[in-house]
């Protein structure tokens, strides 16, 4: 079935280090969305990627969509304590949105 | 800004009880969803609705039902709560346009004892 694998499940970094989370699908996606959930909060939409090979930036966050539209990554440069939370990707298969399991990011100051 | 309001932040119920989780949105969106969130499993879709009185099963509908009598309100019903339904429940809404993002409520953490 349609499934989005997200790794790593958990990452603990020193403040200032970089962080990357990856999502993979065995079948082609229509698009991919990324959400952030702060501790105790609810998921909040960050961005959507639609085109093959697309790269988008939001300040220190860089989002990529693979050429085959089967994988995506979120990279955070020089993490800050405000980056803590769980990052989810959600792949779109036609009209169906399937979430990855999420990556929990902890930042040591 | 879209506002999605879930009636309870925390709920404790006993096994076998009938449980109602309420969700109200203020943006006149047609599409509403119920997810449950469990560690290591991400968000899994329970039920969704594209219109009043319309409902569709998601990936894990067993043990749940829903009601959508009015456009702004989407209720999740646990007919007979069980301990394996202890979870975080998230309601979400989305505009009808293609590729619109989900807007989530604050969630209801349900504990079934």
pLDDT, one tens digit per residue, over A66-100 is: 999 999 999 999 999 999 999 999 999 988 899 99
pLDDT, one tens digit per residue, over A19-43 is: 999 999 999 999 999 999 999 999 9
Single out the residue of B89, B91, B85 nearest to residue B104, CA to CA: B91
Single out the residue of A44, A36, A50, A23 nearest to residue A79, CA to CA: A36
State the nearest Cα–Cα gap between B61 and chain A, in angstroms.
15
Mutation site for A-interface testing, chosen from B43, B92, B95, B103 by largest number of A Cβ within 10 Å = B43
Q: Any idea which residue has 């990529």 for tokens?
A: A64
Question: What is the per-residue pLDDT for A94?
Answer: 85
Query: From CA B95, how far away is CA A39, in angstroms rounded?
Result: 26
pLDDT, one tens digit per residue, over B67-113 is: 999 999 999 999 999 999 999 999 999 987 667 899 999 999 999 99
pLDDT at A61 > cutoff 90: yes
Two structure tokens written together for A2: 């349609």
Two structure tokens written together for A33: 């969305």
pLDDT at A106 > cutoff 70: yes
pLDDT at A49 > cutoff 90: yes
Q: Any idea which residue has 């020193």 for tokens?
A: A14
Contacts of B45 in chain A (CB under 8 A): 97
Contacts of A44 in chain B (CB under 8 A): 104
The helix/strand/coil state of A82 is helix
């Amino acid at each position: 079935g349609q499934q989005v694998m997200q790794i790593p499940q958990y990452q603990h970094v020193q403040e200032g280090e970089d962080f990357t989370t990856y999502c993979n699908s065995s079948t082609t996606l229509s698009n991919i969305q990324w959400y952030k959930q702060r501790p105790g909060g609810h998921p909040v939409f960050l961005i959507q990627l639609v085109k093959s090979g697309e790269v988008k930036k939001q300040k220190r966050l860089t989002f990529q969509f693979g050429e085959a539209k089967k994988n995506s990554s979120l990279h955070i440069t020089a993490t800050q304590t405000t980056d803590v939370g769980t990052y989810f990707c959600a792949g779109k298969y036609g009209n169906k949105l399937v979430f990855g399991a999420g990556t929990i990011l902890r930042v040591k100051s | 800004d879209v506002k999605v309001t879930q009636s309870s932040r925390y709920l404790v119920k006993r096994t076998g009880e009938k449980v109602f989780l309420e969700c109200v949105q203020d943006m006149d969106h047609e599409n509403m969803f119920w997810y449950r969130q469990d560690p290591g499993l991400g968000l899994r879709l329970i039920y969704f609705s594209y219109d009043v009185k319309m409902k569709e099963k998601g990936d894990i509908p067993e043990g749940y039902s829903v009601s959508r009598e009015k456009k702004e309100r989407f209720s999740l019903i646990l007919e007979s709560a069980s301990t394996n339904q202890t979870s975080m429940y998230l309601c979400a809404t989305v505009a009808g346009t293609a590729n619109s993002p989900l807007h989530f409520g604050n969630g209801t953490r349900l504990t079934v004892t």
